[in-house]
Amino acid sequence: MGEFHLIVRGTDSGIFHAKTTAGLWNDFTSLGGVTPSEPAAVEFHRELWAAVRGSNNLVYTNRFNGVSWNGWSEVPGGGLTLSGPGVAVLNGELHLFVRGIDDQIYENRFNGVSWSGWSEVPGSGLTPSDPWAAATSSSLHLATRGEDDGIYLNQAP
């Protein structure tokens, strides 16, 4: 996209977006909706995707095509979360991670057409916090805080 973007939760729990134009930051604009947790964002298929936990604990995404936002839509499958999501892109798929209400980590993948559905991440253990996700050119990395306050890393090829 050639720009820097910030997606943040405001002091009123509203969801806001700011970006750079010619190296200068624009003012924050509201994306509508509220979230009790921190949002996550990633570039996928030449669009900026934002993911949030809704006030009803469901997960929602919104995408920005460089001109306008598409609007919030619920991620299919009814996955409930108590924390903000983590997102990463690997091999042409958007990977969305959340902490379920049972403190397990769950993933839902979007291939550009459809979502895979929520499934538990093998070997993830229990966490009281938001998951964090990143991808390299060949691996997906998931980091979480364990119940013992240790930091744990899970990697998938």
Q: Which pLDDT tens digit goes with each residue over 48-77?
A: 999 999 999 999 999 999 899 999 999 999
Asked if residue 67 belongs to a domain, the reply is: yes
If one counts the domains in the chain, the total is 1
What's the distance, Cα to Cα, between the start and end of the chain in Å? 26
Q: Which pLDDT tens digit goes with each residue over 81-129?
A: 999 999 999 999 999 999 999 999 999 999 999 999 999 998 878 898 8
Identify which has the larger pLDDT, 6 or 2: 6
Is residue 92 left, alpha or beta, with left meaning phi > 0 and alpha meaning psi from -120 to 50?
left
Asked if residue 5 belongs to a domain, the reply is: no
CA distance 86 to 91: 17
156: how many CB neighbours lie within 10 A of its CB? 14
Asked if residue 7 belongs to a domain, the reply is: no
Q: Which DSSP letter does residue 91 get?
A: T
Containing structural domain, residue 84: 36-156
Please report which helix (H) or strand (E) contains residue 141, including its range: strand 140-145
pTM above 0.85?
yes
What CATH number has the domain bearing residue 88?
2.120.10.70
